[in-house]
Structure 1
Amino acid sequence: MKPLSACPPGSNRPSTFLRAPRRASAAILAASLLATLAACASSPANDPAAVTVLRVDAARFDDPNNREPALREACAAWRLNERQVAAFFASGREYPDGTHDAFYWLPCSIKGRLRAQGREWDFEINAAATATWTDGDTVRRWGCMAKACEPLVLLMPDQQGP
């Protein structure tokens, strides 16, 4: 029997299933399908060893009107190291477009670069527990509602979103 296909980048589902010969039993097909789905359910970003953080920049505050001096101070003090960036992505999950409504946004973020899934990505983690990975025209969006992200960000979601 031929193996089932791998998950495409940015997906938690197999893209296509190759047809097995008719003589393969339902039990074999079911076991193969379950193994593939299990492999795809945890994206490589959820495995800290699969994300290699190459660079982490200092936090940047982007509020030209300086409406919140206390937030500017908190942003200036916010730091993440390579291990913490990897932990954020291991604890977070990728969200399709349109589901960021569950999260807040702050004018404070940390940028850097990482390697995952055989590609290098520019990342940006917002202090309100969201992030993006960008490689050319490909953009992947992340959010973290897990307790493990609390010490890594300045503002967690309030769990009232989708």
Structure 2
Amino acid sequence: MSGTTVDPSASAQEGAPGICRSWAMTAAQAERFFLLSERIDARRYHHDFDTAPCMISGVLGSDGRAWKFSINGAAKAVLRNGNDTHYVGCMASECSELVMWEYTPPDVD
């Protein structure tokens, strides 16, 4: 697992290197993040979740496959293996201790 880096998909990157140094995740915490997360579709990943300026990347083994992952500090992650891409969101209350910003459901009119 790599250290915390600036997420290139985040729009607000000013001051991100300093902010990112204050957030870290151990391998055990990353595993807990994925255990607490649920699979979501791409639309929900991009529109219902904020994007924090920081991310943590690594490789996760699941079902005999190695998945490259990026956990964004805003309680969401993307996993990739070849042409397969999975999106997950960590919406459980226990996720708040693992991420920079906890998930806040979008306003519904």
- TM-score, normalised relative to structure 1: 0.59
Of 95-104 and 56-65, deviating more is 56-65
Q: Which residue of 2 aligns with 1:61?
A: 6
Q: 1:118 to 1:72 in 2, by over 3 A?
A: same
Give the number of aligned pairs.
Answer: 105
Partner Cα distance (2:69, 2:13) in 1 = 25
Structure 1 contact 61–76 (Cα < 8 Å) conserved:
no
Say whether 1:119 aligns with 2:65: yes
Provide the secondary structure at the position in 1 that maps to 2:42.
coil
Q: Which residue of 1 aligns with 2:39?
A: 94
Partner Cα distance (1:120, 1:83) in 2 = 17
- Flag structure 2 segments of 5+ consecutive residues without an equivalent: none
For 1:13-92, list aligned pairs within 5 A: 56-62=1-7, 66-67=13-14, 69=15, 71-92=16-37
Partner Cα distance (2:41, 2:12) in 1 = 32
- Note the C-alpha offset of 1:107: 2.1
- Note the C-alpha offset of 1:72: 3.3
- Flag structure 1 segments of 5+ consecutive residues without an equivalent: 1-55
* Residue deviations 1:17-57 (CA, integer Å, cap 9, x gap): xxxxxxxxxxxxxxxxxxxxxxxxxxxxxxxxxxxxxxx11
Q: Which structure features the higher share of strand residues?
A: 2
Over the aligned positions, Cα root-mean-square deviation in angstroms equals: 2.1
The structure number with the bigger radius of gyration is 1
Structure 2 contact 7–72 (Cα < 8 Å) conserved:
no
Q: Which structure has more RCO (C-alpha within 8 Å, separation ≥ 6)?
A: 2
Q: 1:150 to 1:135 in 2, by over 3 A?
A: same
- Please tell me the residue identity of whatever aligns with 1:123: F
